[in-house]
A and B are shown apart, each in its own frame.
Chain A
Amino acid sequence: MSLADPDHVPLPPGKPLVRPLGAAMVVIYITLALLALAVPRGFVNWSRDMEPSTRQQAILAAAQAIERLSSWVGLNRPYERAREAFLKATGKSED
């Protein structure tokens, strides 16, 4: 439902999905899980930056476990290599 405003360009009509919520659920969770495995460093850095507490330690431990798993399977390698290449090409550093 959008504003009845003639100045606004209406949002384009979409074709309803057959099971939109199921599809959305799969897309959201699988995407997040794949990202956690493919870019585990982000999750580890994020949990390191949190305020120190027992909860933070638990989250950090979980993030490091994911990182180890990712590293063992080799899922983090494409990201690490691509990131390195990007930094080299642009002359930027990780900081």
Chain B
Amino acid sequence: MLFPTIEFAIFFAVVFPLTWLLNDCNTAKKWFLVAASYFFYAFWNVNYTAILLGSSLFNFFLALALGRLADGPARRVLFWFGVIGNLCLLGCFKYFNFFAAEAMNLTMSLGLPLDLPLLEVALPIAISFLTFHALSYIIDVYHRKILPTRSLVDILLYISFFPHLIAGPIVRAKAFLEQTVRSSNPYDVRLGFAVFLIAGGLFKKVIVANYLSTDFVDGVFRSPADFSRLDLLLGMYAYAIQIYCDFSAYTDIAIGVANLLGYRFPQNFNQPYRARTVQDFWRRWHMTLSSWLRDYLYIPLGGNRDGELMRARNVMITMGLGGLWHGASFNFVLWGLMHGTALVVERMFERSSLSLSRVLGRRLAGGLAWLITFHFVCFTWVFFRSPSLEATQAYFSTLAWGDTGWGTTVTPLVAAMLAIGAVTQMIPDRWFEGFESWYDRASLVLKVALPFLLIFLIAIAAPGGVPPFIYFQF
């Protein structure tokens, strides 16, 4: 079930009042939300709800056992069993075929052909986010940052809660479980905030991301040799806008929907293309993944504790694995490693006496830093979007040396979407706060008129169908 669909509107219209009707009986409300979340997930594949249930039960009992054991080897073994168990689930479905194919290629090139069976199953949707949530729980229990919950329904809900189930944001176990202990407070519902996020998310996904994708980006990346060099350059920018509008739309709607149900999710995007360094980009892009990787991978690897060389190694491992998490392909690994390299290089600049501000002046240096960061991010998106390394190479070779000229196939509609996408990066935070404050004071008629009008306008300009969100595949 996709958010911007009629079935989701009907689903939510049923779930919303029932959730609040059951609010005084918190346990019944949580069981109801679990049932609703499983129903939401079963819309794709009812069989895969077994994975959801199995993962929840596994982590629930494992955490209880971790909570009972005293620190020592047995506890450590159990913890690693839990981590590996969760990773195996992800590995089996997401990476088995990739590694099996690579192993067969390698042995073939060595003259020792190896025949490994490949899995003929579809990748269960949400498996990556499910694993992140499960790992967050057992790692925090192991480090005694949280106590294991004795309430099975809390874990079932934490793992499966439908707003964050498919593509995040990644909500830490501590932050979520604190909210499940007692009934939700109706005064935590921020209608203006939710309306802005949901309507804004619908606009970004249904209009901006969809038109950029169908009218320009898909074609440019499918056969770059058929497009001009200008088109390929604009294709990089267009994909940068498309993926932002697509992914941030999903998490915006998720945050808004969760808020309407009385739950608070963390922010996941903060105008990432305003970043002036790659480090700043990762503080603004998929913020919940960045902080997850930092806390559960980078810091346990040693973080920046053992000198610059180890720090660089840890950054590269974290970003490489972060890339691989996006998909079983060398393109994603390279994408992650390029970001890791940029982070390491930035750190070297930071530590050196070189200062752009001193040479160019503060404003010019800031502008240049933004320009370099933005283009670096766009450049790496080509690796992310292209289906293979060969396709990436074809894209860049046509862009650099192609004899396809400098004309463009960008239509006025695509140009408008690019411009709107750029504007999303420039809106000051205070506008949002001002809107929320205005909406909360507005009359009920205006409160209804505004979302109706916004969705009505989206419906007028909407394309025929809504393709899945990009991050569903991860």
Contacts and interface: CB of A to CB of B under 8 A. Distances in A.
A30 to B, nearest CB: 5
B13 interface: yes
Contacts of B412: 90
A83 B266 CA distance: 37
26 contacts: A1-B175, A2-B264, A2-B265, A3-B172, A3-B288, A7-B291, A8-B291, A9-B267, A11-B267, A14-B192, A14-B437, A15-B436, A21-B186, A25-B17, A26-B448, A27-B191, A30-B452, A31-B455, A32-B9, A35-B455, A35-B456, A38-B452, A46-B7, A90-B413, A92-B463, A94-B464
B270 interface: yes
A23 B411 CA distance: 42
Interface string B438-452: 001100100110011
Contact of A12 (B9, B195, B283, B433): B433
A26 B461 CA distance: 26
A29 to B, nearest CB: 7
Contacts, number: 126
A30 B448 CA distance: 7
Given A17-B189, A26-B447, A27-B448, A5 B266 contact: yes
A50 to B, nearest CB: 9
A64 B294 CA distance: 53
A61 interface: no
B17 A5 contact: no
Nearest to A23: B191
A86 B460 contact: yes
Contacts of B420: none
A52 interface: no
Interface of A: 1-5, 7-17, 20-21, 23-32, 34-35, 38-39, 42-43, 46, 79, 82-83, 86, 90-92, 94-95
A14 B436 contact: yes
A71 B446 CA distance: 25
A76 B260 CA distance: 29
A16 B193 contact: no
A2 B267 contact: yes
A31 B287 CA distance: 32
Nearest to A25: B17
B114 interface: no
Contacts of B294: 7
B260 A14 contact: no
Contacts of A2: 175, 264-267
Given A14-B190, A31-B455, A95 B464 contact: yes
Contacts of A28: 12-13, 16, 260
A12 B456 contact: no
Nearest to A38: B456
Contacts of A7: 283, 287, 290-291, 294
Contacts of A14: 190, 192-193, 436-437, 440
Contacts of A26: 444, 447-448
Contact of B13 (A15, A17, A20, A32): A32
A3 B136 CA distance: 13
B120 interface: no
B20 interface: yes
Given A8-B291, A14-B440, A26-B444, A79 B459 contact: yes
Interface in B253-281: 260, 264-267, 270
Given A15-B440, A31-B451, A86 B461 contact: yes
A23 B270 CA distance: 28
Nearest to A63: B6
Contact of B460 (A13, A32, A79, A95): A79
B432 interface: yes
Contacts of A15: 436-437, 440-441
B187 interface: yes
Given A27-B191, A35-B456, 7 more contacts: A11-B193, A12-B193, A15-B437, A30-B448, A34-B448, A38-B452, A91-B411
B429 interface: yes
Nearest to B295: A5
Interface string B447-473: 110011001100111011000000000
A27 B187 contact: no
Contacts of A90: 411-413
Contacts of B7: 46
Contact of A27 (B178, B190, B195, B287): B195
B179 interface: yes
Contacts of B193: 11-12, 14
